[in-house]
C-alpha cells in the first residue's frame, strides 16, 4: 500500500499561499545551469522563414529607398553573376567588399533603427515557432543562446534582442565615428568563418564546445555543426539531410508540404539576388537624392 503524503501549505496574513512542503518527496529541482554549455542558431530558414536580408530589402523598398523596377533589374544582374562566376578566393573577396559598399557614410544608429522597424513589420511573423521553442528550452536551462548569420551583425542583434536571446554573431562592417566606411572589418560570416567565430567566442566565454548545440538548415554550415557536441539539422536542405542521417544527427523540420518548397525560394536564390540589388539600388537612391 502506498504511503500517504502529508502536505503543508503555508499562507501569509492575507491568506495568500506563501510556500509548501511535504514529508515525502520534494518539488522537482530546477536544473543547475551549465555555464559551459550554449546554443548557436543559424538565422535564414533556421530561425526564420526565408532570408533576413531579403526581408530587410523588402522593408527598404517599401520605404522608397529604391523602386521595384530597380530591384528586379539589379536582381537579374546579380543572377547572371551567380550563374557565371566561380567562387574563387579573389571573386569572393571582391563580392564581400561590394556587398557593404552601399552603406558608406550611413550612420550605424540609422541602420539599427531601420532594422528594428523592418523586423517588427516583416520578420517577426516569419520566425519559426518550433525553432523559437528550441531556443527557449536552452534559455530555460540557463544556457546562453547566440544567433550566427552571414547577415550584417546589426540585423542579427535586433533579432536576438527581440527574441530575448543572448546576442548575435554576424558580418561586421567597418565603422569610423559612428558611420560605415563601406568596407568589411573581417570576413563574411559564412561557412568556416562561423566555426572560427564560435570557437573564439567559446574561448572568451569559457564554453565547452562538446557540451554546446548548433542548429542550421544548410550544408554550408557543416563546419559550425561539426565543432559542437550536439549538431541539429533544422528544415535541412538535401545535402545537410544526407549528412545528418549519415552521422546520426538530430533533425527537426517545421515545414509542411508545398509550403516548404515555396519558403526555400527567398532563402536561397532570392536572398542572393536581393543582396546584390540592395547594393546597387541604395547607391542609385543616394545619387538621385544628391541630384535632387
Measured in whole angstroms, the distance separating CA 56 from the mean position of its chain's CA atoms is 13
Choose, from 12, 42, 109, 187, the residue flagged as catalytic: 42
Asked if 44 is an active-site residue, the reply is yes
| Cβ-count burial 9-28 (b if 16+ within 10 Å, e if not) | eeeeeeeeeeeeeeeeeeee
* Cα-based distances in Å from 23 to 2, 8, 16, 29, 271: 14, 8, 22, 16, 60
What confidence score (pLDDT) does residue 15 get?
Answer: 42
Q: Sign of the C-alpha dihedral, residues 191, 112, 47, 204?
A: positive
**E strand residue ranges, 115-163:** 144-152
User: Are 45 and 235 a contacting pair, CB within 8 Å?
Assistant: yes
What confidence score (pLDDT) does residue 130 get?
Answer: 96
- What tens-digit pLDDT sequence spans the chain (292 residues)? 444 333 333 334 344 433 333 334 544 555 678 899 999 999 999 999 988 888 887 888 888 876 666 556 545 554 544 444 434 444 445 555 555 565 678 888 998 999 999 999 999 999 999 999 999 999 999 999 999 998 889 999 999 999 999 999 998 888 999 998 888 887 788 889 999 999 999 999 999 999 999 999 999 999 999 999 999 999 999 999 999 999 999 999 999 754 444 444 344 444 444 444 444 344 444 444 444 4
The cell numbers describing 286, all together, are: 543616394
| Cβ-count burial 170-191 (b if 16+ within 10 Å, e if not) | bbbbeeeeebbbbebeebbbbb
Choose, from 12, 34, 44, 217, the residue flagged as catalytic: 44
Asked if 70 is an active-site residue, the reply is no
What confidence score (pLDDT) does residue 35 get?
Answer: 92
Amino acid at each position: 500500500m502506498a504511503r500517504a503524503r502529508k502536505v503543508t501549505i503555508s499562507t501569509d496574513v492575507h491568506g495568500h499561499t506563501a510556500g509548501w512542503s511535504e514529508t515525502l518527496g520534494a518539488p522537482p529541482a530546477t536544473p543547475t545551469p551549465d555555464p559551459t554549455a550554449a546554443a548557436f542558431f543559424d538565422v535564414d530558414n533556421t530561425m526564420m522563414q526565408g532570408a533576413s536580408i531579403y526581408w530587410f530589402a523588402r522593408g527598404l523598398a517599401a520605404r522608397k529607398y529604391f523602386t521595384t523596377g530597380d530591384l528586379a533589374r539589379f536582381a537579374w544582374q546579380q543572377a547572371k553573376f551567380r550563374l557565371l562566376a566561380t567562387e574563387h578566393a579573389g571573386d569572393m573577396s571582391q563580392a564581400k567588399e561590394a556587398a557593404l559598399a552601399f552603406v558608406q557614410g550611413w550612420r550605424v544608429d540609422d541602420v539599427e533603427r531601420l532594422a528594428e522597424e523592418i523586423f517588427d513589420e516583416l520578420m517577426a511573423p516569419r520566425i519559426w515557432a518550433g525553432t523559437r521553442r528550441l531556443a527557449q528550452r536552452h534559455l530555460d536551462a540557463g544556457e546562453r543562446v547566440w544567433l550566427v548569420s552571414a547577415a550584417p551583425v546589426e540585423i542579427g542583434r535586433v533579432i536576438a534582442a527581440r527574441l530575448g536571446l543572448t546576442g548575435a554573431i554576424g558580418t561586421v562592417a567597418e565603422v569610423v565615428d559612428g558611420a560605415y566606411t563601406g568596407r568589411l572589418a573581417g570576413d563574411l560570416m559564412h561557412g568556416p568563418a562561423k566555426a572560427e567565430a564560435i570557437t573564439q567566442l567559446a574561448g572568451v566565454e569559457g564554453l565547452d564546445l562538446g557540451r554546446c548545440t548548433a542548429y542550421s538548415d544548410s550544408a554550408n554550415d557543416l563546419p559550425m555543426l561539426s565543432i559542437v557536441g550536439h549538431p541539429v539539422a533544422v528544415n535541412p536542405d538535401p545535402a545537410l539531410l544526407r549528412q545528418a542521417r549519415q552521422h546520426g544527427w538530430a533533425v527537426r523540420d517545421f515545414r509542411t508540404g508545398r509550403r516548404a518548397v515555396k519558403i526555400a525560394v527567398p532563402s536561397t536564390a532570392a536572398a542572393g539576388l536581393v543582396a546584390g540589388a540592395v547594393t546597387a539600388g541604395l547607391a542609385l537612391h543616394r545619387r538621385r537624392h544628391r541630384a535632387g
